[in-house]
């Protein structure tokens, strides 16, 4: 395919989409020629940033938005990438599935993606393995969920005061119309941030060898099949030595986040008593806005919930997890995210034998909170729990974090001063 060529597209049929996309492909096969000797023996995506490889930071961020499987597209020093990613996955806050697709010969980003096609879902995320944009990715997911079937790709865009290292993106509203060459001088511009939501149909137009950015995306734009979501936040591309050093000095601090723990029943939803399915779920006023507000302000958002209805036989543990998955997806559809969830299905007076017991995860026990703090490497000083019961406040106290008692009303209005007034010291690490 030639740059600017017309692309015949066959869009998938219109369907009701969830916002969460469970699979992300990561381009990790480049030669990194601009880094010189720095990446001669260590592949660029797994260069150490703080206490972990760069890809580990990227994967951790993507897990916040519901990614459960990573397809790693490798080429240069493929085995070194695999070894580093396998090791890094053990330290991620959530379990993940890993798939590796090694191109048989250098094929460019488009060729690598086409070669990986057997591993790719009908709809997937794609990201560059050498850049990270600290932005609210849920805004991209929410926009993509609302796109028509004619839109085959949506890009996360970033406005830079100096876009001279990158090509820029031309737009008509949110429709991407063209990709322009790099500005000749230090000029502000909107760039492709290297994060995409893609339908597998775009692979029909991928050459066996070629560039996604030069050979595929312009044709999709010309066909009216590309849209963009403009984000804001810290952006770094480690492809040149000076920006690699910037990442090493700044990225661990930038990704230090405060954490908001929500109780569920009586906080996110009206407590109708043992809510185990969507049919009995009613959102609290301002709850979805509260989640988005916290996400926009760079907070982790977690859910911690006693679910004794499981022990009492009113619904299953699988029912509880399915409902919480739907809650997280609805949050992403609204432009926020729930990073992770803990439930306690146990109760000493339950009538289901497997769940009839005491547990320090059951609030007022601190177990659920402490589990999330450990898995996400949180600083307790910047953790806050919002609950509606005295047991929630006691659990927060036992976990060593701050608690706020919610007695009803608009949840977004309740949490706004908490979120706005408590940001982390950038000297802390995650």
- Residues annotated as part of the active site: 263, 265
Cα-to-chain-centroid distance, residue 427: 24
Point out which residues pair with 52 in neighbouring strands: 49
From CA 67, how far away is CA 94, in angstroms rounded? 10
Greatest CA separation found in the chain?
72
Token pair for 337: 């995210």
The helix (H) or strand (E) run that includes residue 196 is strand 189-199
């Amino acid at each position: 395919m030639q740059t600017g060529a017309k692309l015949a597209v066959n869009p998938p049929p219109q369907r009701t989409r969830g916002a969460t996309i469970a699979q992300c492909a990561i381009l990790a096969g480049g030669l990194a020629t601009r880094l010189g000797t720095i990446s001669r023996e260590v592949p660029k995506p797994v260069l150490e940033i703080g206490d972990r490889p760069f890809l580990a930071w990227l994967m951790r961020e993507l897990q916040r938005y519901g990614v459960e499987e990573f397809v790693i597209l490798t080429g240069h020093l493929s085995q070194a990438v695999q070894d580093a990613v396998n090791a890094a996955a053990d330290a991620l806050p959530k379990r993940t599935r890993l798939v590796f697709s090694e191109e048989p010969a250098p094929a460019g980003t488009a060729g690598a993606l086409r070669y990986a096609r057997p591993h790719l879902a009908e709809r997937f995320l794609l990201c560059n393995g050498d850049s990270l944009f600290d932005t609210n990715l849920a805004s991209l997911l929410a926009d993509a969920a609302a796109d028509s079937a004619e839109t085959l790709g949506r890009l996360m865009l970033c406005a830079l005061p100096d876009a001279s290292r990158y090509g820029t993106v031309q737009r008509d509203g949110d429709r991407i119309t063209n990709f322009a060459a790099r500005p000749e001088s230090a000029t502000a511009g909107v760039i492709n941030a290297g994060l995409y939501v893609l339908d597998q149909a775009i692979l029909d137009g991928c050459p066996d060898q070629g560039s996604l950015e030069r050979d595929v995306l312009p044709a999709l734009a010309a066909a009216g099949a590309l849209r963009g979501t403009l984000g804001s936040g810290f952006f770094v591309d480690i492809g040149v030595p000076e920006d690699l050093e910037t990442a090493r000095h700044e990225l661990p601090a930038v990704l230090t986040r405060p954490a908001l723990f929500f109780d569920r029943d009586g906080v996110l939803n009206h407590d109708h008593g043992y809510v185990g399915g969507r049919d009995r779920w009613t959102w609290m006023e301002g709850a979805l806005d509260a989640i988005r507000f916290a996400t926009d302000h760079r907070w982790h958002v977690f859910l911690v919930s006693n679910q004794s209805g499981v022990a009492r036989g009113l619904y299953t543990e699988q029912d509880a997890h399915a409902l919480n998955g739907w809650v997280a997806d609805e949050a992403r559809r609204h432009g926020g995210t729930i990073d992770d969830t803990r439930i306690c299905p146990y109760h000493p007076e339950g009538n289901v034998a497997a769940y009839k017991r005491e547990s320090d995860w059951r609030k007022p026990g601190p177990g659920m909170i402490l589990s999330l703090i450990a898995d996400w490497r949180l600083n307790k000083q910047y953790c806050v729990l919002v609950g509606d019961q005295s047991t929630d406040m006691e659990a927060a106290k036992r976990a060593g974090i701050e608690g706020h008692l919610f007695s009803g009303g608009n949840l977004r209005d309740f949490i706004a001063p908490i979120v706005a007034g408590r940001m982390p010291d950038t000297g802390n690490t995650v």
